[in-house]
Chains A and B, each alone.
Chain A
Amino acid sequence: MSAVFEQIFQVGFLAAIIRIATPLAFATLGEMFSERAGVLNLGIEGIMLLCAMAGFTAASLSGSLWLGVLVAVLVGALMGALHALFTVALGLSQHVCGIGVTLFSSGLAYFLYRLIFGQQSVPPSIDGFKPVPIPLLSDIPILGPAVFNQFTLVYLAIIAVPLAAFVLYRTPWGLSVRMVGENPRAADSAGVSVIATRFQAVILGGALMGLAGAFLTMAQFNAFTFGVVSGRGWVAIALVVFGRWDPWRSAGAALLFAFVDALQLRMQASGLGHIPYETFLMLPFIFTIVAMAFMSRNAVAPSALLKPFRREER
């Protein structure tokens, strides 16, 4: 076991945590914005998959990675708008519509991928993002190469966390988001449009989920496979609860999950061969369940989460 712990403090291990945490952070922030406005988005898993596919395809066909990212973000926003149409404008069940969005998006992703790339024995890949070392900062021992020699999307995620906190806590729009998630009637009587605010928050959330998907196929794996998201969307939903609907805590939750995930990868590789590798694969999820069991006791969800808003009618 000591070999395992030696590896924890290696540069490669820290870098792996950051890399694993990045798509989770985007996805978690996206889900958080949506839920803060009172809309649970269970479409996240499918939206991430569709965006991963769309971004990969756009990048692969155009040769421009950033165009791929843009397409992924736009597709994410569009799917967010679709979810908002059902749940906010029409006031339908958020659970049912979210599952519907996931099934629809996943199916669409498989279908379009086959349509565009056909059946190939080796999945096509692209030349993905390369790490961009930040001058000076990347020279800091251990931390430098781990944190400041990463993909641009990683830096974007690092900036996204304080930015999300600023938007949520310091801007009138962020206050409106929190208000419509807590007491939409109060927001309405103060002249804030509940419908518009919720739409905006769910669309922003979808766009962030798009970034998460784009990272998977354009930085992490450089290829699209049907299992590329493999539950990261569902994990993000748990991490939002774990992070108590707060950007900083949510990012912390993503890092913690990434730590356990990186740890199990090392354990798989570190000569504990007599244990089936699936055991290690389970670890992050067991960790999530246990953490949730403890944390969700004190978690207080936005009061109006899951509740559609309709003006009082007699």
Chain B
Amino acid sequence: MSAPLIEMRGITKSFGAVKANEAVDLSVAPGEILGLLGENGAGKTTLMNVLFGAYAPDAGDILVEGRPVAIHNSADALAAGIGMVHQHFHLAPRLTVLENLLIGIPGKSGRIDRARGLARLTEISRQYGLSLDPNLPVSALSVGEQQRLEIIKALFRGAKLLILDEPTAVLAPSEVDGLFAALRSMAAQGLGIIFISHKLNEVRALTHRCVVLRHGKVAGRVDHPASTTSAEMAKLMCGHEIVPPVREASTPGASVLTLDGISTSGHAGTPLRDVSLFVRAGEILGIAGVSGNGQRALADVISGMLQPRAGTMTIAGKTVTQFSPRELQALGLGRIPEDRMTTGLVTNLPLADSMVLPRIGTEAFSRKGLLNPTAIRAFAEAQIKAYDIRCPGPMVRAGALSGGNLQKALLARELAFDPKVLIVSQPTRGLDIGAARFIHEKFLAMRARGCGIIVIGEDLEELLMLSDRIAVMYEGRIAGTLPSADATVARLGLMMTGAGHTEEAA
């Protein structure tokens, strides 16, 4: 193999007493795709931020093509040929594709050099098969296209090494294939790529080599990811064996939630069109679909945040179509929203307050219109213990918690009241294997206790593992429902694009 494009030697970085990275060695050769694996908090992002100049390492060297370089900020990193595609895109939504590319690029005689920018964009598009309309505003692009723009942006600035921080977390399965094709083409043309992920199947499919981090240290290196099993890699990541939970066979009871011919309008996003579905006691119904096909409206209707234009909704036989979120909750409906930070919790309030918010006016937490801080605190403390939520205490600002711990807090909040129906969106997005496994086990335990659960998700393997039946949403409609025994990733993927039509099979 040729001389490494980038080499990191003995990188150590501490935040206070916490060693986020300890003596990490890593190198990428031209044309190589390196997988960087690890659970949340293992130090992947810190390591890449050191490489991209956001943090200065306490010790260690970075070499670019054999020469030591000092990288103090993103401008230095770009100059050294390092480009990074962050998890949260650095784009201005109201500016056009071309303008987002040209930012920070000197113009020609005081004017923006559009012609040269366009020529360079065309060249990159042709070279790597990444095309975008230069005059569209970024807000008109899909998430996948925005990510493509971020990749183009890095290449536009002459990146020889591309860092992608969990790029597939935001993509639909079909978009992932496109991304992988582009990345392979870039590698084939001599670029180096660092691919950060905790999805083992993707790492195995894409990368040439892997470095696994655990607690800030290199826990292992995998030279042939394709011929290594996911179980072996998961063991490296977690330090112990991971056993997937088993969904035991069961006989579902009566329907606990039924939607009949629900249509909506006046909602941001795709409205629902004549949606009928039901979930029975002790059953998990998966809702698959590329995000933006009405899942948001579905979750909002079920939780009472959106009143449907037509159709009826019943919970345990009782018509609840016009009920408010609070009334639905009183009937035993729990919701874990898609966006933990905005709809889920109040990030600036103490965790304890966020955890009782949906039931703040009930007997349990207030008396005669006054809050009962002792009860609120006691509740939060009990849940923190029961769910192993890692935080300094119930009075910590909710926004300070990591994603996995926030999700546990939300889960604890809903499950503590033993819901009869639970609707969850993207329950494990951004969570690592350990945290995801914990959430899955809780769902299955709820199922065993007779709760009807609707799981809206994009991760088909997760849905297949959890669900008894899977309904596919496409353009605001239910494109079809399959018992999960009959469903495969390929079949669902086809239905998600609106191609396949399957009759309702209960």
Residues of A within 8 A of B (CB): 170-172, 174-176, 178-179, 182-183, 185-192, 300, 302-303, 312, 314
Nearest Cβ in chain A — how far from B162, in angstroms?
14
- State how many angstroms separate the Cβ of B135 from the closest Cβ of chain A: 13
Task: Tell me the residues in window 73-113 of chain B with beta carbons closer than 8 Å to chain A beta carbons.
Answer: 73-75, 78, 84, 86, 89-95, 99-100, 102-107, 110-112
Specify which chain B residues have a CB less than 8 angstroms from the CB of A176 in the assembled complex: 103-104
A254 to chain B, nearest CB (A): 23
Question: Among A175, A182, A300, A312, which residue has its beta carbon within 8 angstroms of that of B102?
Answer: A175
Chain A: CB-nearest residue to B16: A314
Tell me, yes or no, whether B54 is within 8 Å of chain A by CB.
yes
State whether A183 touches B91 (Cβ < 8 A): yes
B89: which A residues are within 8 A, CB to CB? Answer: 186
The residue of chain A having its C-beta at the shortest distance from the C-beta of B76 within the complex is A191
Residues on B close to A: CB < 8 A?
Answer: 15, 54-55, 73-75, 78, 84, 86, 89-95, 99-100, 102-107, 110-112, 153, 157
Instruction: With A170-B111, A172-B112 as known contacts, state yes or no: A187 contacts B94, CB within 8 Å.
Output: no
Instruction: Beyond A186-B100, A303-B93, A314-B15, list 15 extra A-B contacts (CB 8 Å).
Output: A170-B111, A171-B110, A171-B111, A175-B103, A178-B94, A179-B92, A179-B103, A183-B90, A186-B89, A187-B104, A188-B74, A190-B153, A192-B103, A192-B104, A314-B55
Chain A: minimal CB distance from B161 (Å): 16
Q: Nearest Cβ in chain A — how far from B147, in angstroms? A: 14
A183-B107 in contact (CB<8A) = no
* Residues B112 and A171 in contact, CB atoms below 8 Å apart: yes
Please give, as numbers and ranges, the residues of chain B lying within 8 Å of A175 by CB-CB distance. Answer: 95, 99, 102-103, 112
18 contacts between A and B (CB under 8 A): A171-B107, A172-B107, A172-B111, A174-B112, A178-B94, A179-B99, A182-B94, A186-B90, A186-B100, A187-B92, A187-B103, A189-B74, A190-B103, A190-B104, A190-B157, A192-B103, A303-B92, A303-B93
Minimum C-beta distance from B67 to chain A (A): 21
What chain B residues lie within 8 Å of A171 (beta carbons)? 107, 110-112
Main SS class of interface, A? helix
Closest to B83 in A: A189
Known pairs A182-B93, A303-B92; A172 contacts B102 (CB<8 A): yes
A-side contacts of B15, CB under 8 Å: 314
A182 to B157, CA, bound (A): 21
Q: How many A-B residue pairs have CB under 8 A?
A: 74
C-alpha spacing A109/B111, complex, angstroms: 39
- Least distance between A131 CB and chain B CB atoms (Å): 33
Is the Cβ of B103 less than 8 Å from the Cβ of A303? no
**Least CB distance, A15 to chain B, in whole angstroms:** 35
Q: Is the CB of A191 within 8 A of B78?
A: yes
Chain A nearest CB, measured from B55 CB (Å): 8
Most B CB contacts (10 A, CB to CB) among A179, A182, A186, A189 go to A189
A175 to B89 CA separation, bound complex (whole angstroms): 18
Chain A neighbourhood of B55, CB < 8 A: 314
Measured between beta carbons, the chain A residues less than 8 angstroms from B104 are 172, 176, 187, 190-192
The verdict on A172 contacting B93 (CB below 8 Å), with A178-B99, A314-B15 known, is no
Complex: chain B residue closest to A181, CB-CB? B92
Given A178-B99, A190-B104, A192-B103: A170 touches B112 (CB 8 Å cut-off) = yes
Contact A186 B91 (CB under 8 A): yes
- Collect the chain A residues with CB atoms within 8 Å of residue B84's CB: 189
User: CB-CB < 8 A to A178: which residues of B?
Assistant: 92, 94-95, 99
Contact A186:B107 (CB < 8 A) given known A172-B112, A303-B94: no
Residues of B contacting A183 in the complex (Cβ-Cβ under 8 angstroms): 90-93
Neighbouring A residues of B92 by C-beta, 8 Å: 178-179, 182-183, 186-187, 303
Which of B55, B99, B103 has the most chain A CB atoms inside 10 A of its CB? B103
